[in-house]
Amino acid sequence: MKLKILITGGAGFIGSSVYDSMRKKYDIYILDNFIPFYDIKQKLKNLEISSSILKKDRVQNIFNCDIRDYFSMKRIFREVKPHAVIHCAAMAGVQQSFEHQKEYFSVNVEGTLNVFSAAVENNVKKTLFLSSSSVYGEGRRAPFKESYSMNPISPYGMTKAQSELMAAFFSSQMNLDILVLRLFTLYGPRQRPDLLLHKLYLNHMKNIKSVIYKNTSRDYTFIDDGVQGIQKGFEFLLDTKGIRTFNIGSSNPVKTEDVAIEVRRRLPSFSFSLEERKRGDMARTFADISRAKSAFSYQPRMDFAQGVKRFDSWFNSFYKS
């Protein structure tokens, strides 16, 4: 019998990519509230479903549910009886978190509390939680190690740091086995439109000049490498007790200006200006991935220029259709 997994946020960029990669091996259920934080057409396309889901509670293995609605969550947990949860649902994005602090805290902190509580109440022992490089914040020697203390500088980073503290509590006091994966800027097909590469392509399509922040760099990680880390991490979690935390990145930072130059190689009329970075934006991210390499043989493979090429093909086919 296949193990049953419930993926929260399974309609999004990462959740739907994890679903596609793991659906042959596992019996997967998706829980998502299809929030129009960005165009829901992209989420419907990720799952190849029609908008009828928006008027219903459930279509096939997909539940339309808000993780803040504990009553409905408990009903879904009771109905599905998952062996494990992969918790991807969140309000993501650093800059938007300054404008929508309350919503970020209510979804990312209270919602995550509900996911952990529903797991405990329904005797689901294993939960994989997607955290973020944003928990590291400023003043850290690169590459960032999991042993560093958390020092977030944005509301989004704070919600992830608080969720990690809750994860530690649920593991030590409520007997939940939890794997925390700190993801470093994922990019590629299905990427969120607020993330850099997608944003630059959209600006170009709309003839808007892009803004690039000076002296910044990110440890861009191709979606397939991120999914590899999540799947291998999940299999490691099945044999692990307690809580473990791992970075999932490429360990190969790219300067933001070089991202713009790579885009211009593909879109020759792409134009941009340089500005100082905004509050909440870390100057750089850089993952030390030795822990994940040695625990579950995580090995990122994608070269950045090749990854941009894969994004480029997805962008053209998505916006043409």
Ligand X SMILES: NC(=O)c1ccc[n+]([C@@H]2O[C@H](COP(=O)([O-])OP(=O)(O)OC[C@H]3O[C@@H](n4cnc5c(N)ncnc54)[C@H](O)[C@@H]3O)[C@@H](O)[C@H]2O)c1
Which residue number, 79 or 209, has a Cβ lying nearer to ligand X?
Answer: 79
Stretch that binds ligand X, among 18-26, 62-70, 204-212, 238-246 (CB under 6 A): 62-70
Q: Does 189 bind ligand X (CB under 6 A)?
A: no
> Could you tell me if 258 and 216 are in contact, meaning their C-beta atoms sit under 8 angstroms apart?
no
Bond before 300 cis per omega within 30 degrees: no
| CA gap 217, 184 in Å, rounded | 11
What lies within 8 Å, CB to CB, of 169 at 6+ separation is none
Stretch that binds ligand X, among 52-60, 88-96, 199-207, 287-295 (CB under 6 A): 88-96
Q: Does 9 bind ligand X (CB under 6 A)?
A: yes
Which residue number, 53 or 241, has a Cβ lying nearer to ligand X?
Answer: 53
Q: How far is the CB of 159 from ligand X (least distance, A)?
A: 8
Name which position in 7, 14, 76, 289 contacts ligand X (CB under 6 A).
Answer: 14
Phi, psi of 51 (to 5 degrees): -70, 0
Q: Does 161 bind ligand X (CB under 6 A)?
A: no
| CA gap 253, 166 in Å, rounded | 30
Q: How far is the CB of 102 from ligand X (least distance, A)?
A: 13
**DSSP element (H, E) containing 228:** helix 223-238
Nearest to 134 by CA among 169, 163, 171, 113: 163
Site for ligand X in 16-45 (CB under 6 A): 32-35, 37, 43
- Applying CB under 6 A, the residues found at the interface with ligand X are 9, 11-15, 32-35, 37, 43, 66-68, 88-92, 107, 111, 130, 132, 183, 185-186, 192
